[in-house]
Amino acid sequence: MRDDNQKEYLEEPLKMLRKKVLPKLPPHVQNKVNHEVERLEDLFVDTRAPRFAIVGRRGAGKSTLVNAIFQAPVADIGTVTAETEHASWHTYKNATEEAVMEVLDTRGFGEGDRRRFQTSEEDAWNEALKTRYPDAILFLVKAKEVDARVSEDIEQLKKLREKVSEMHDYLPPVIGVVTQVDELDPAYDSDPPFGEEKLTHITQAKEHLQHMLGEQLSDVAGIFPVCAYTAFKDGEMVYDRRWKIEELIDFLLDQLPETTWMQWARITQAKTIQARIAKTMGKSASAIAGGVGAQPIPLADLPFITGIQLSMIAGIAYVSGRKLDRKGLTEFLGAIGANVGTAFAFRQIARSLGKFTLPVAGHAISGTLAATATWGLCKAAILYYIEKRPAHEAKQAYESRSEPPEAP
Ligand SMILES: Nc1nc2c(ncn2[C@@H]2O[C@H](COP(=O)(O)OP(=O)(O)OP(=O)(O)O)[C@@H](O)[C@H]2O)c(=O)[nH]1
Ligand SMILES: [Mg+2]
């Protein structure tokens, strides 16, 4: 999954910063910069696939939701009997096979499905949870079935959650998902955006599940009514009835550790998520550039600032779904007016850019200037890679310097 370019563009600059620049900074700046470097390391280096437990009765729409998230037919829909005896992890991959999501399939919530199996449900969970735990648990209930024996299922859900907590010292957030809201009355109003009467029924179903979950769990992270229905032909989406899926995806970002964000962005291809992550990178990179730039640093250290900026740009390109290569990056740099000439390696680009990306006054540059320039690059990269705006707009955004928002 990780290739050499990823190493070169995303990891190397951070490594060099950690090794060569951080130790030279005064302690209070060091702490702050270190915090931001750690955050970028979570995003760029220590990445892994997001993991969910998606639980719900047969036909609740678990597989359909996975497909709606991927916008691709990665999971089998329909009533195939569960052949597996054990609760098990499934790995779903996107078309390019670089973004994966892991889903813990717990068989037999409700319905007494369990009785068909030899091993007890709990043993199966124990086995599956040995190796990893879900970052979050999605509890799916059909809109038309929110009042049907849900409390029994919630009991099971609680057990699963406690098991995770026991084994991994991590209490995964629970998100209630009311599925198939298009099936609610009135039946003629089946395509979003829904009319008033439908919306009223959707709200009622949501509130009902909220109430049921709330009675048994004190800390439900959120409840989302959705429609996940899509149809695919030859791998292409030919029908799209999705409703509020993007809201759910966006909410889930906050429930996931930052180490999974890059994957989540690439899986979902949701622009809002890509932009949110890009801004996080931008804030961190700006804070680093600001912190380093505020020091009276020798000219030789400038490439590190440029390196972090390039790393941020590469990160934004990557999060937008691009492959990381020099061509793509130089294209962007050229578009915003940074001519990198014939530099062929990342470090060389960093060096040659150091000369003019940051206007240098004598041997020291101001921290604010470094931070502002970095934030400008971030805004330009978001426009170019994520919003797919024309190059001159990106250039304009880069040139209209504004201060980065306070890093969180
Ligand atoms: N109208 C409508 N149908 C849906 C929606 N989501 C799923 N379905 C249908 O419901 C049926 C079951 O969906 P699946 O996604 O296979 O459900 P599942 O929870 O994975 O089922 P099992 O794997 O058998 O436990 C399929 O026929 C889907 O097309 C939805 O939002 N709206
Ligand atoms: Mg299924």
Per-residue pLDDT at 339 exceeds 80? no
Domain assignment present for residue 311? The answer is yes
370 Cβ inside 6 Å of ligand 1: no
172 Cβ inside 6 Å of ligand 1: no
Q: How far is CA 376 from the centre of its chain?
A: 23
Structure confidence at residue 121 (pLDDT): 73
Which ligand 1 atom sits nearest the alpha carbon of residue 77? 16
| Closest C-alpha residue for ligand 1 atom 11 | 59
Domain assignment present for residue 264? The answer is no
Task: Tell me which ligand sits closest to the C-alpha of residue 62.
Answer: 1
CB 288 within 8 A of CB 367: no
114 vs 372, higher pLDDT: 372
Domain assignment present for residue 407? The answer is no
Say if residue 100 is in the same domain as residue 246: yes
Structure confidence at residue 365 (pLDDT): 57
Which ligand 1 atom sits nearest the alpha carbon of residue 60? 19
Q: Which residue range(s) make up the domain with 348?
A: 4-46+269-399
CB 68 within 8 A of CB 245: yes
How many domains are there within the chain? 2
Say if residue 219 is in the same domain as residue 73: yes
Confidence of residue 118 (pLDDT cuts 50, 70, 90): low
77 Cβ inside 6 Å of ligand 1: yes
Give, for ligand 1, the residue of 64, 83, 245 to mutate: max count of ligand atoms closer than 8 Å to Cβ.
64
| Closest C-alpha residue for ligand 1 atom 2 | 180
Placement of tokens 């769990």 in the chain: 217
Nearest to 86 by CA among 102, 103, 106: 106
Say if residue 287 is in the same domain as residue 322: yes
Task: Tell me which ligand sits closest to the C-alpha of residue 60.
Answer: 1
Per-residue pLDDT at 192 exceeds 90? yes
182 Cβ inside 6 Å of ligand 1: yes
Domain assignment present for residue 260? The answer is no
Which ligand 1 atom sits nearest the alpha carbon of residue 80? 24
63 Cβ inside 6 Å of ligand 1: yes
54 Cβ inside 6 Å of ligand 1: no
Domain assignment present for residue 196? The answer is yes
Domain assignment present for residue 225? The answer is yes
Say if residue 147 is in the same domain as residue 86: yes
| Closest C-alpha residue for ligand 1 atom 25 | 58
Confidence of residue 359 (pLDDT cuts 50, 70, 90): very low
What does the pLDDT average to over 134-149?
94
Structure confidence at residue 111 (pLDDT): 57
Q: How far is CA 27 from the centre of its chain?
A: 32
| Closest C-alpha residue for ligand 1 atom 6 | 61
Task: Tell me the pairing of strands 220-225 and 51-56.
Answer: unpaired
Domain assignment present for residue 208? The answer is yes
Say if residue 131 is in the same domain as residue 250: yes
Which among 201, 227, 255 is the end of a domain?
Answer: 255
Say if residue 57 is in the same domain as residue 42: no
pLDDT digits (tens, 9 = 90+) for 234-245: 989 999 999 999
Structure confidence at residue 81 (pLDDT): 55
Domain assignment present for residue 406? The answer is no
Structure confidence at residue 362 (pLDDT): 38
Tell me the CA–centroid distance for residue 62 and ligand 1, in Å.
7
pLDDT above 90 coverage of the chain, percent: 59
79 vs 387, higher pLDDT: 387
Tell me the CA–centroid distance for residue 347 and ligand 1, in Å.
50
Task: Return the bridge partners of 102, or none.
Answer: 51, 91
Ligand 2 (single-atom ion) residues, CB below 5 Å: 62-63
229 Cβ inside 6 Å of ligand 1: yes
Say if residue 218 is in the same domain as residue 231: yes
Task: Tell me which ligand sits closest to the C-alpha of residue 109.
Answer: 1
Tell me the CA–centroid distance for residue 87 and ligand 1, in Å.
19
Structure confidence at residue 169 (pLDDT): 97
Structure confidence at residue 212 (pLDDT): 96
- Find the range with the poorest average confidence among 58-67, 80-89, 121-130: 80-89
| Neighbouring C-beta atoms of residue 287, cutoff 10 Å | 24
Both structure tokens of 267:
């899986």
Q: Is the peptide bond before 73 cis (omega within 30 degrees of 0)?
A: no
Confidence of residue 361 (pLDDT cuts 50, 70, 90): very low
Say if residue 21 is in the same domain as residue 89: no
CA distance 42 to 167: 24
Looking at residue 115, which CATH number applies to its domain? Answer: 3.40.50.300
Say if residue 115 is in the same domain as residue 151: yes
Which among 195, 224, 255 is the end of a domain?
Answer: 255
Say if residue 354 is in the same domain as residue 371: yes
105 Cβ inside 6 Å of ligand 1: no
User: Between helices 271-293 and 302-319, what is the axis angle to 10°?
Assistant: 180
58 Cβ inside 6 Å of ligand 1: yes
Q: Please, what is the average pLDDT of the chain?
A: 86
| Closest C-alpha residue for ligand 1 atom 14 | 61
Confidence of residue 16 (pLDDT cuts 50, 70, 90): confident
Say if residue 380 is in the same domain as residue 281: yes
Residue 86 sits at φ, ψ, to 5 deg, of: -120, 150
Structure confidence at residue 98 (pLDDT): 80
CA distance 186 to 38: 51
Structure confidence at residue 108 (pLDDT): 63
67 Cβ inside 6 Å of ligand 1: no
Q: If DSSP states are collapsed to H, E and C, what string results for the chain? A: CCCHHHHHHHHHHHHHHHHHHHHHCCHHHHHHHHHHHHHHHHHHCCCCCCEEEEEECCCCCHHHHHHHHHCCCCCCCCCCCCCCCCCEEEEEECCCCCCEEEEEECCCCCCCHHHHCCCCHHHHHHHHHHHCCCCEEEEEEEHHHCCCCHHHHHHHHHHHHHHHHHHHCCCCCEEEEEECHHHCCCCCCCCCCCCHHHHHHHHHHHHHHHHHHHHHCCCEEEEEECECCEEEECCEEEEECCECHHHHHHHHHHHCCHHHHHHHHHHHCCHHHHHHHHHHHHHHHHHHHHHHHCCCCCHHHHHHHHHHHHHHHHHHHHHCCCCCCHHHHHHHHHHCCCCCCCCCCHHHHHHHHHCCCCCCECCECCHHHHHHHHHHHHHHHHHHHHCCCCHHHHHHHHHCCCCCCCCC
95 vs 312, higher pLDDT: 312
pLDDT above 70 coverage of the chain, percent: 86
Task: Tell me which ligand sits closest to the C-alpha of residue 59.
Answer: 1
Which among 230, 255, 280 is the end of a domain?
Answer: 255
CA gyration radius, the chain = 24
Say if residue 101 is in the same domain as residue 222: yes
